[in-house]
Structure 1
Amino acid sequence: MNLSESARAVFAVLAEAGTATRPQLAAGAGLSKPTVSSAVAELEAAGLAACSGTASGGTGRSAAVYGLGQAAGAVLAVDLGPSRTQVRGSALDGTLLAQGAGSRPDAAAVVCDVLAKLPEGAPLRTVVVAVGDVTVQAGEGERPATAKAGPAFDAMAVALPAGVPVHLENNVNCAALAELHQGAARGRDTFGYLRIGVGIGLGVVIGGQVLRGANHAAGEVARLPYPWDEDRQPRHEGLEAHLGARSLLRRASAAWCDGDGPRPRTVERLFALADGGHATAHAVVGHHAAEIGRLAAAATAVLDPGLMILGGDVGSNPQLLPGVRAELARLSWPTEVVSSALGDRGTVLGATELAVARGIQTVTEGVPVKH
């Protein structure tokens, strides 16, 4: 977009603030009031900013308040989860415009539904898709590195408008980013986000930045050698198979006694029984918590994060906290352990943050954006 440097700088400040007066834009962009006035006029002419009202100052004078114009556009965030897809369409100031959810096979339909609800005439600036995989460069774009997300991603990609930039990010990294700005890690700049569900993963935030690694594979704890002893060889992603939800239910079934009643068929039922005082269910959950605590201790030994957040369909259950804390304290140095504050919304919220930042950059053309 052919904007002056001052207009791009003012747009970046306005997108971050949502609404602002000219003095506020001048202070945020570090520009003189005449320069800001010229920049605002340029943005209004391009439809990127619009006057949204007035505000009274302490001296009794009123000042025009500006917000983003329709031409600023929108962004799309997609959480392509293992069983459920969540989609959010947002303005470049982060305002939610539309959202939807459905099963993973219905991802394309959910995307189409949210796109149809976005304001008419607002250009789609970018799309961020969170996948449960490592991403790689393939041809002119990004793709999941394995078949974990491939088929579902391909089906969903067909529903996206042609020519709109699509960026992939690991789902655990997205959730960690959301916890940093909106969740349990607010006020902290270094922590680990440990997701336990159907699979396992670790989001690593150091100095306020998500650690991605040379292969975009930082935090892929599924690849930790397991089992690791003298008599057995480690299996490929053996730790994920051991700590995942399916294995938890198999262990619960194996531990069930004749007088325990029907075996739980879902993790939710297992935790409900444990919470209600069912002895076998409580023991199974306690053992699982200890094993998660050992994984947390391994991560802590390498990262020393100071804070470990437990997330995922299984990991976010507060019944796990005492056991994880106890095992981590037994094996490592003091580390705070808390449950996710965002639950299953974390991934799509983090993907939205990334989409908004990238969307702003399509307008500002490289002007630094805070995120």
Structure 2
Amino acid sequence: MFAVLAGAGSATRPQLAHLAGLSKPTVSSAVAELEGTRLAARSGTAHGATGRSAAVYRLGPAAGTVLAVDLGSTHTAVRGCALDGTVLAARTTYGDPRPADTVRAVLGELSTGPLRAAVVAVPDIAGDAGGSGARPATPAVATAVDTLGLPADLPVRIENNVNCAALAELHEGAARGRDIFCYLQVGHGIGLGIVAGGRVLRGASGAAGEIARLPYPWGPGHEPVPEGLEEYAGAGSLVRRVTTAWTAADGPAPHDAVELFALASGGHAKARSFVEEHAREVGRLAAAVTAVLDPGLIVLGGGIGANPQLLPGVRAELDRLGLPTEVAGCAVGESGTVAGAARLAVARGIHAVTGALAPQPPVPR
């Protein structure tokens, strides 16, 4: 009943009975128990068409909160949420070497009940064998998570940032209602979130979707190098290629991908040629994805991938090389990773409560 109320946000007892598929007496007893433990509270009164009124319930002050952290390469985004998904506090900082300050600022605004769980999204392989996220997969991830200064007794799940963004698009964005799709992130790095059967596919070691590890370059006279594809397709390499080819006649050279796309949008011929070529490169990567996964839909995201200027070129190259596949821009935007992490954190927070409330087996004598 607690989980049903958390999912509804607020509801009357008849509404809860309908949502849970339980009898009204059973629901009344459960709601009374939740009220007694301050896990639920009355928030008002609803009046029906017949003039009858019913108490409206929401989560109570003892339900607690959860924390979601997007520990990105260029930023730290933090959300504190109630267990019904309501965002209670949020902060995003850029280029801050002290992400713990951002975490503390959000924690300082959470005053309702215990902190139940945290999910930290990282731009790396996240979990241990089986992809559980119970332990960091690499020392670098462990060090990054340690810098957050999270409470020592707080249950923490570590998740890949692209997987989190894929979850946000599944529930809130361009992939709503889809059973299978892929979220292709192109930005500082590249990555793939794979959703199949409505769930994120993590793989045996939590590394499913690590397309940066595809062999590249591959061909006569070329020797593939680790993460060579990410080095070529990432924003840094794109800007370096632009800078090398730029001449004084082209005007001031763009300092980053944002400036490059702005110039292209304004009609700058050379900038537009680089954007169009990069769109074809992303289209080839998308074609490789369709050959393996046949997802039906690829959602483009990331600092570069989310730019709508890429869509026509990606679609054209994918049509030329790949299986019939819809391509859409991300709908949640740059907050997708922290939004997906918050959704995972809320689910873990609810489980923390319902697990504690579940009947315990008798202790053997």
**Normalised-by-shorter TM-score class:** over 0.9
Give the direction of change, closer, same or farther, for the CA distance of 1:237–1:147 in structure 2 (3 Å limit).
Answer: farther
In the other structure, the counterpart of 1:142 is 134
Which one of 108, 116, 126 corresponds to residue 116 of structure 1?
108
Which one of 102, 106, 110 corresponds to residue 98 of structure 2?
106
Q: What amino acid is aligned across from residue 186 of structure 1 in structure 2?
A: R
Q: 1:321 and 1:259 mapped to 2: Cα distance? A: 29
Q: What amino acid is aligned across from residue 158 of structure 2 in structure 1?
A: L
Q: 1:290 and 1:32 mapped to 2: Cα distance? A: 58
Q: 1:316 and 1:252 mapped to 2: Cα distance? A: 20
What is the Cα deviation at residue 366 of structure 1? 8.9
Task: Say if 2:127 and 2:159, in contact at 8 Å, map to a contact too.
Answer: no
Task: Say if 1:131 and 1:144, in contact at 8 Å, map to a contact too.
Answer: no
What is the Cα deviation at residue 254 of structure 1? 1.9
Q: What amino acid is aligned across from residue 29 of structure 1 in structure 2?
A: A
Identical-pair percentage: 64
Q: What amino acid is aligned across from residue 355 of structure 1 in structure 2?
A: A
Give the direction of change, closer, same or farther, for the CA distance of 1:366–1:169 in structure 2 (3 Å limit).
Answer: farther
Q: Any idea what SS the aligned residue of 2:55 has?
A: strand
Give the direction of change, closer, same or farther, for the CA distance of 1:141–1:130 in structure 2 (3 Å limit).
Answer: closer
Which one of 12, 34, 38 corresponds to residue 21 of structure 1?
12
Q: How does 1:16-165 map to 2 (within 5 A)?
A: 16-103=7-94, 104-120=96-112, 122-137=113-128, 142-146=134-138, 148-156=140-148, 159-165=149-155
Q: 1:355 and 1:267 mapped to 2: Cα distance? A: 32
Q: Any idea what SS the aligned residue of 1:117 has?
A: coil
Which one of 282, 287, 306 corresponds to residue 297 of structure 1?
287
Q: 1:112 and 1:330 mapped to 2: Cα distance? A: 50
In the other structure, the counterpart of 1:6 is none
Q: 1:293 and 1:321 mapped to 2: Cα distance? A: 9
Task: Say if 1:107 and 1:152, in contact at 8 Å, map to a contact too.
Answer: no
Q: 2:197 and 2:169 mapped to 1: Cα distance? A: 14
Q: Any idea what SS the aligned residue of 2:165 has?
A: helix
What is the Cα deviation at residue 142 of structure 1? 3.4
2:214 is aligned with 1:259: no
Q: How does 1:268-279 map to 2 (within 5 A)?
A: 268-279=258-269
Which runs of no fewer than 5 residues in structure 2 stay unpaired? 359-365
In the other structure, the counterpart of 1:190 is 180
Q: 2:186 and 2:347 mapped to 1: Cα distance? A: 28
Deviates more, 1:24-33 or 1:208-217: 24-33
For normalisation by structure 1, the TM-score amounts to: 0.92
Task: Say if 1:105 and 1:152, in contact at 8 Å, map to a contact too.
Answer: no
For normalisation by structure 2, the TM-score amounts to: 0.94
2:331 is aligned with 1:341: yes
Q: What amino acid is aligned across from residue 291 of structure 1 in structure 2?
A: E
Task: Say if 1:71 and 1:123, in contact at 8 Å, map to a contact too.
Answer: yes
What is the Cα deviation at residue 277 of structure 1? 1.0
Which one of 315, 335, 339 corresponds to residue 325 of structure 1?
315
What is the Cα deviation at residue 175 of structure 1? 0.1
What is the Cα deviation at residue 187 of structure 1? 2.1
Q: 2:32 and 2:357 mapped to 1: Cα distance? A: 19
Q: 2:292 and 2:302 mapped to 1: Cα distance? A: 22
Q: Any idea what SS the aligned residue of 2:331 has?
A: coil
Task: Say if 1:227 and 1:239, in contact at 8 Å, map to a contact too.
Answer: yes
Which one of 236, 240, 256 corresponds to residue 246 of structure 1?
236
Task: Say if 1:195 and 1:312, in contact at 8 Å, map to a contact too.
Answer: yes
Count of paired positions? 355
Q: Any idea what SS the aligned residue of 1:270 has?
A: helix
Structure 1 residues 160-216: Cα deviation after superposition (integer angstroms, max 9, x where no partner): 122110001100000000000101111222111000011100001112111111111
Task: Say if 1:271 and 1:281, in contact at 8 Å, map to a contact too.
Answer: yes
Task: Say if 2:126 and 2:141, in contact at 8 Å, map to a contact too.
Answer: no
Q: Any idea what SS the aligned residue of 1:248 has?
A: helix
Q: 1:136 and 1:193 mapped to 2: Cα distance? A: 19
In the other structure, the counterpart of 1:199 is 189
Task: Say if 1:309 and 1:337, in contact at 8 Å, map to a contact too.
Answer: yes
